[in-house]
Structure 1
Amino acid sequence: MAYQILTSQCISCNLCLTVCPTNAIKVVDGQHWIDPELCTNCVGSIHTVPQCKAGCPTCNGCVKQPSDYWEGWFANYNRVVAKLTNKQDYWELWFQSYSQKYSEQLQKRQSQTMGAEA
């Protein structure tokens, strides 16, 4: 899985150009991009992490490019949910809130049903 440069996050510092061991990073019409044919994620090199990501001052400029549609969809979804909630336990909190409200409604109906029978 190659990396890609998020143009909205890229500040055009050109640091990634100098650190890429395979020269996979190109600038076309002022936009930085990583050639997926040349990008090896720095596997097989002396580096233990991809250098474009390690050297990026924005920390969000270089991200892994998903290998299939659903992997990309879930990665984007998780990133957006994390930004919206600033919490990793979003679904757990949602479930607790939902189950609490459902339980309250169920108890209310049961009491109404019991009151109607008496």
Structure 2
Amino acid sequence: MAYKITSKCISCKLCLSACPTGAIKIVDGLHWIDPNLCTNCDGTAYSVPQCAAGCPTCDGCIKERGDYWESWFATYNKLVTKLTKKEEYWDNWFNFYSQKFSEQIQKHQTSGIEA
């Protein structure tokens, strides 16, 4: 998913020198990011896209969303990553509910035997 330059761009040209792949071009006086060259700065020394990090308007350069499902899965994967990093949370959850379930089964079995 590439980035795009919005209408809020003030044409300061900081992004031209910030882009490590040279994906930012000026066409007819407007800045444009070539999606074939934009790598979101993956595989570079940077942890965030430099066009967005260096933009003085903060929203002159934004991540371009493809379609609804691409956006949905990006959000889903981000949330799952947050949850799965909390291993003790899931261990505690499993232990608590498996204990409650076992207690209910034992209660049901003992009430069935007495009847």
Shorter-chain TM-score: which interval? 0.5 to 0.7
User: Counterparts of 1:40 and 1:52 in 2: how far apart (Å)?
Assistant: 11
Q: Cα–Cα, structure 1 residues 18 and 66, in superposed 2: closer, same or farther, change >3 Å?
A: same
* Corresponding position of 1:4: 4
Q: TM-score, normalised by structure 1?
A: 0.57
* Corresponding position of 1:98: none
Q: Cα–Cα, structure 1 residues 72 and 10, in superposed 2: closer, same or farther, change >3 Å?
A: farther
Q: Cα–Cα, structure 1 residues 47 and 73, in superposed 2: closer, same or farther, change >3 Å?
A: closer
RMSD: 1.8
Q: TM-score, normalised by structure 2?
A: 0.59
* Corresponding position of 2:23: 24
Size of the aligned set, in residue pairs, is 72
Identity among equivalent positions (%) equals: 64
Q: Provide structure 1 residue ranges, at least 5 long, that are not aligned to the other structure.
A: 75-118
**Alpha-carbon offset, residue 72 of structure 1:** 8.4
Larger Rg over CA atoms:
2
Q: Provide structure 2 residue ranges, at least 5 long, that are not aligned to the other structure.
A: 73-115
Q: Report the AA paired with residue 3 of structure 2.
A: Y
Contact 1:4–1:62 (CA under 8 A) maintained in structure 2? yes
User: Counterparts of 1:46 and 1:62 in 2: how far apart (Å)?
Assistant: 20
